[in-house]
Amino acid sequence: MAEQATHYRICPLCEACCGLEIRTEGAQVISIRGAVDDVFSAGFICPKGVSLKDLHEDPDRLRQPLIKRDGQFVTATWDEAFSEIERRLLPVIASHGPDAVAASIGNPAAHKISLLAYFPRLARALGTRNVFSASTLDQMPKQLSSGLMYGHWLSIPVPDLPRSDLLIILGANPMVSNGSLWTVPDYRGKAKAMRERGGRIVVIDPRRTETAHAADEYLPIQPGGDVFLLLGMVHTLFDENLVQLKHLAGHVNGLDDLRAAVAPYSPERMAAGAGITAEAQRRLARDLAATERASIYGRIGTCVQRFGTLNSWLIDVLNILTGHLDAVGGAMFPKAAAFAANTVGQPGSGRGITTGRRASRVSGAPEVFGELPMNCLSEEIETAGPGQVRALITIASNPVLSAPNGQRLSKALDSLDFMLSLDIYLNETSRHADVILPGLSPLEDLHYDMAFPQLSWRNHARFSGPVFAKAADQPEEWETIQRLAALVAGQDWRADVGEMDDAAVAAEVRRFAGAQTAAVLAHLAPQRGPERLVDLALRTGPYGDQFGLKPAGLTLAQVKAAPGGIDLGELQPRVPELLRTPSGRIELAPPSLLADLAFVDAALEQTPSATAMILIGRRDMRSGNSWMHNLPVLAKGPERCTLMVNPDDAERLGLQNGGTARVSTALGELLAQVAISADLMAGVVSLPHGWGHDLQGSRLQVASARPGVNMNALLDGEQRDPLSGNAVLSGVAVSVTAA
Ligand code: SF4
């Protein structure tokens, strides 16, 4: 009989980062369940966690490099694949310069330290301005507003739910997501406990979501109307003398500018745009101000709009003006054990952030966080001239499905001189590649979350090793990226990749350790790759042993020795220590945000079409963007990619439950199965995104059997929040008829 073993593994499938207990027999997974001893998730698991077995065993998961020959993919060795990349990519760079190569990194990379930690080395080696990511399809508005207010992109406050008495949720569905930009496994259990001790949850959303069903109050809001509601609430705080900075007094700049800026936006004036009465807006503001431990939290629905950055800013403004930011039970800043920029350098002030250091060539969209908007990628490929993108590297990125107007991007990708994908699937985007390099199964990879402890409901440190050994000839993903970085830099990619990593780490350490570099590196030896980076970050981090200076401090060895992780306690107040703004204060009124308010006035004047329906997205517990639809355990059951329609609209439009609706915009149309639901407000329809797996040339047998439809194909790729570059993915007018 094959040997049985039990492994502890952090789930890499969503932001909740649950600890899993995985039992194996030889090379087989025999069970996956929540790890009850996990200090962070305490045994919680959702249906997606179990699907790791299907993902590991998926026959469609790529295990060997593929090279396209005469339009067909053929398997290749790693050396053959790298030789092909060298033969095809280097001439593009030599002839057209670094900007001729674009790079796009997708959402799964946020859960793989090999990709997240090593991609910057590849981007630096490329030296291209054309870097794109899923952030501009999702969360860039929150990153930008946080950067402007607190001085760093990932200084994002999260609700301190276990100690809260009131939580207002806007455009988020944590009952299904278990948090987004808020890592909160078992939101359901935590919300239930909060309500049982007398706390209240209010949900504001165009759909009565799963979270709204388990809340104390639900308020429907006009899609895209968040900015009007939030302005009305901030206005109320000033208007009714409810502003109370409490412990934040002396730590904010711009209060008078903010007061003047929101003066024109009374709840009475905002009511029609928000679809929420002035009285309800004022009541929400009063409740927030009057409750001792409270916060307002907003997420993806507030980001994927024209005013995404204003929404993200105003949510934090409300928490600040009511004294709930950085307060127990309010919106608090986690203190991650490693990789958090707000724990590095001089506490209390810093350089802040800069945007627009360069602009996209065609539309002139400003760079934000080192990236250009994803919905600029097509035009950068299509438009001839100096700097035209002629080659693309995608890393776990599927913008053909996840970005607006993927059909246009598909055509553009076919015109490239060369395309390389690092991906575990031959999917709707990687099918356009000339070379595909496969990544590891998550169960063959180690795991340390770089980003999510910075957004977690409780401070902690956890590490998991691989469950299974990888194939002997399969490189780890960091090795693949490091080798690519050497290749594009014109170095010998056949050289020892470990030595390349040694040189890169030595250069990084030298920047802060100076003459102590050799001693620091000696402490870290003989580790290489991500483990060395984690050890370095933990030991130099806020809880670290500082290489012996604080003997009781954290090291990677200690974290590894605790399979359920190390608990670092409840969230603690961090202002002003975490601030990295040049002023050393929270910037309440960043000028670029105040300037954008002028466009709110223009939006108020717009009259909605009398006949159009408004399309919004939604999230499903058994789905995660575009890449989990090939896993049988998640794919079974009722059709998930349905068009949700309010009963009155269905009757008016002649739609039957289970029937087919035609949904169209100027860009095209799709046919979707109708699901009539009173949860949706009248005039609004909802489709989940990430579907549409019926495109020729991909290899996703399970997903293509139930492909669903791609709502993003209806969306205008030109529409974005001009401040953050985030695409508008929600609140779009569509025509709906019976098919
Ligand atoms: S909520 Fe589900 S998918 Fe997300 S980390 Fe937990 S088990 Fe994994």
How far, in Å, from the CA of 58 to the mean position of ligand 1? 19
Distance CA 564, CA 124 (A): 36
* Residue 700 binned pLDDT confidence (cut-offs 50, 70, 90): very high
Q: What is the tens place of the pLDDT at every residue in 529-585?
A: 999 999 999 999 999 999 999 999 999 999 999 999 999 999 999 999 999 999 999
Q: Partners of 381 in the beta sheet?
A: none
Q: Partners of 435 in the beta sheet?
A: 67, 420
Question: Quick one: pLDDT at residue 17?
Answer: 98
Instruction: Judge if 140-346+575-597 and 608-738 fold alike in CATH terms.
Output: no
Q: Does the structural domain 608-738 have CATH classification 2.40.40.20?
A: yes
Q: Taken in order 613, 615, 616, 620, is the CA torsion positive or negative?
A: positive
Contacts 24+ apart (CB under 8 A), 71-80: 73/426, 73/436, 76/435, 77/473, 78/437, 78/473, 78/475, 79/494
How far, in Å, from the CA of 48 to the mean position of ligand 1? 6
> Helix 113-126 and helix 529-540: axis angle, to 10°?
100
Asked whether the predicted pLDDT for residue 186 surpasses 80, the reply is: yes
Question: Quick one: pLDDT at residue 417?
Answer: 98
pTM (two decimals)? 0.97
How far, in Å, from the CA of 639 to the mean position of ligand 1? 21
How far, in Å, from the CA of 8 to the mean position of ligand 1? 14
In the sheet that 166-170 helps form, which strands lie side by side, from edge to edge? 217-219, 200-204, 166-170, 294-298
Residues 6+ apart with CB under 8 A from 456: 17, 40, 158, 183, 184, 334, 336
- The count of other CB atoms within 10 Å of the CB of residue 366 is 18
Residues 6+ apart with CB under 8 A from 496: none
Q: Which atom of ligand 1 is nearest to the CA of 10?
A: 5
Burial level of 664, CB count in 10 A (0-12/13-18/19+)? middle
Q: Which atom of ligand 1 is nearest to the CA of 178?
A: 1
Encoded amino acid at 334, one letter: P
Residues 6+ apart with CB under 8 A from 569: 458, 459
Q: Where are the domains of the chain?
A: 140-346+575-597, 608-738
Q: What is the tens place of the pLDDT at every residue in 192-209?
A: 999 999 999 999 999 999
Least confident window among 123-132, 433-442, 696-705, 713-722: 713-722
Q: Quick one: average pLDDT of 472-493? A: 96
How far, in Å, from the CA of 20 to the mean position of ligand 1? 9
How far, in Å, from the CA of 53 to the mean position of ligand 1? 13
Question: Quick one: pLDDT at residue 663?
Answer: 97
How far, in Å, from the CA of 10 to the mean position of ligand 1? 9
Residues above pLDDT 70, as percent of the chain = 100
* Residue 518 binned pLDDT confidence (cut-offs 50, 70, 90): very high
Half-sphere exposure of 639 (CA within 13 A, CB side): 19
Q: Which atom of ligand 1 is nearest to the CA of 20?
A: 7
Q: Which atom of ligand 1 is nearest to the CA of 13?
A: 3
Distance CA 22, CA 15 (A): 19
Q: What is the tens place of the pLDDT at every residue in 120-154?
A: 999 999 999 999 999 999 999 999 999 999 999 99
CATH topology of domain 140-346+575-597: Dimethylsulfoxide Reductase; domain 2 (3.40.228)
Q: Quick one: average pLDDT of 617-626? A: 87
Asked whether the predicted pLDDT for residue 365 surpasses 80, the reply is: yes
Pocket around ligand 1: residues whose beta carbon is below 6 Å from it? 11, 13-14, 16-18, 45-46, 48-49, 178, 185
Distance CA 486, CA 673 (A): 49
The angle at the Cα of 534, spanning 485 to 118, to the nearest 5 degrees, equals 15
Provide the b/e sequence for 701-729 (b: ≥16 CB within 10 Å).
ebbbeebbbbbbbbbebebbbbbbbbbbb
Give, using CA atoms, the residue closest to atom 4 of ligand 1: 14
Residues 6+ apart with CB under 8 A from 95: none
Burial level of 677, CB count in 10 A (0-12/13-18/19+)? middle
Q: Which atom of ligand 1 is nearest to the CA of 50?
A: 7
Contact 434, 88 (CB under 8 A): yes
**Rg of the chain's alpha carbons, rounded to an integer?**
25
Cα 688 to Cα 418, 562, 619, 624: the distances in Å are 32, 39, 6, 10
Distance CA 64, CA 75 (A): 6
Q: How big is the chain, counted in residues?
A: 739
DSSP H/E element including 24: strand 19-25
Mean pLDDT of the chain: 96
Asked whether the predicted pLDDT for residue 609 surpasses 80, the reply is: no
Distance CA 18, CA 34 (A): 7
How far, in Å, from the CA of 443 to the mean position of ligand 1? 15
Give, using CA atoms, the residue closest to atom 2 of ligand 1: 46
How far, in Å, from the CA of 47 to the mean position of ligand 1? 8
Distance CA 262, CA 232 (A): 8
Q: What is the tens place of the pLDDT at every residue in 627-653?
A: 899 999 999 999 999 999 999 999 999
Contact 157, 578 (CB under 8 A): no
Q: Which atom of ligand 1 is nearest to the CA of 14?
A: 4
Q: What is the tens place of the pLDDT at every residue in 280-295?
A: 999 999 999 999 999 9
Question: Quick one: pLDDT at residue 597?
Answer: 97
Q: Quick one: average pLDDT of 439-448? A: 97
Q: Quick one: average pLDDT of 409-419? A: 98
In order, the DSSP letters of 541-596 are: STTB-GGGTSTTSB-HHHHHT-TT-EEEES----TTTT--STTSSEES--HHHHHH
Q: Which atom of ligand 1 is nearest to the CA of 46?
A: 2
Q: Quick one: average pLDDT of 41-46? A: 98
* Residue 707 binned pLDDT confidence (cut-offs 50, 70, 90): very high
117 three-state secondary structure: helix
* Residue 622 binned pLDDT confidence (cut-offs 50, 70, 90): confident
Q: Quick one: average pLDDT of 328-344? A: 97
Question: Quick one: pLDDT at residue 626?
Answer: 84
Residue to mutate, 10, 14, 20, ligand 1, most ligand atoms under 8 Å from C-beta: 14
Q: Which atom of ligand 1 is nearest to the CA of 177?
A: 1
Give, using CA atoms, the residue closest to atom 8 of ligand 1: 49
Asked whether the predicted pLDDT for residue 244 surpasses 80, the reply is: yes
Asked whether the predicted pLDDT for residue 44 surpasses 80, the reply is: yes
- The count of other CB atoms within 10 Å of the CB of residue 476 is 21
How far, in Å, from the CA of 624 to the mean position of ligand 1? 10
How far, in Å, from the CA of 367 to the mean position of ligand 1? 32
Question: Quick one: pLDDT at residue 541?
Answer: 97
Question: Quick one: pLDDT at residue 3?
Answer: 93
Cis peptide, bond prior to residue 526, ω within 30 of zero: yes
Residue to mutate, 53, 55, 107, 178, ligand 1, most ligand atoms under 8 Å from C-beta: 178
Using CA atoms in the order 565, 566, 570, 573, what is the torsion angle rounded to 10 degrees?
-120
DSSP H/E element including 218: strand 217-219
How far, in Å, from the CA of 422 to the mean position of ligand 1? 24
Least confident window among 55-59, 106-110, 219-223, 610-614: 610-614
Q: Which atom of ligand 1 is nearest to the CA of 41?
A: 6
* Residue 426 binned pLDDT confidence (cut-offs 50, 70, 90): very high
Distance CA 587, CA 238 (A): 17
Q: What is the tens place of the pLDDT at every residue in 271-280?
A: 999 999 999 9
Distance CA 110, CA 16 (A): 12
How far, in Å, from the CA of 184 to the mean position of ligand 1? 10
Distance CA 452, CA 110 (A): 9
Q: Taken in order 25, 31, 36, 38, is the CA torsion positive or negative?
A: positive
Question: Quick one: pLDDT at residue 623?
Answer: 87
Residue to mutate, 8, 9, 10, 11, ligand 1, most ligand atoms under 8 Å from C-beta: 11
Structure tokens at 180: 């987004």
How far, in Å, from the CA of 591 to the mean position of ligand 1? 39
Q: Which atom of ligand 1 is nearest to the CA of 17?
A: 5
Least confident window among 19-33, 331-345, 616-630: 616-630
Q: What is the tens place of the pLDDT at every residue in 93-111?
A: 999 999 999 999 999 999 9
Asked whether the predicted pLDDT for residue 56 surpasses 90, the reply is: yes
Using CA atoms in the order 534, 536, 537, 543, what is the torsion angle rounded to 10 degrees?
110
Contact 505, 118 (CB under 8 A): no
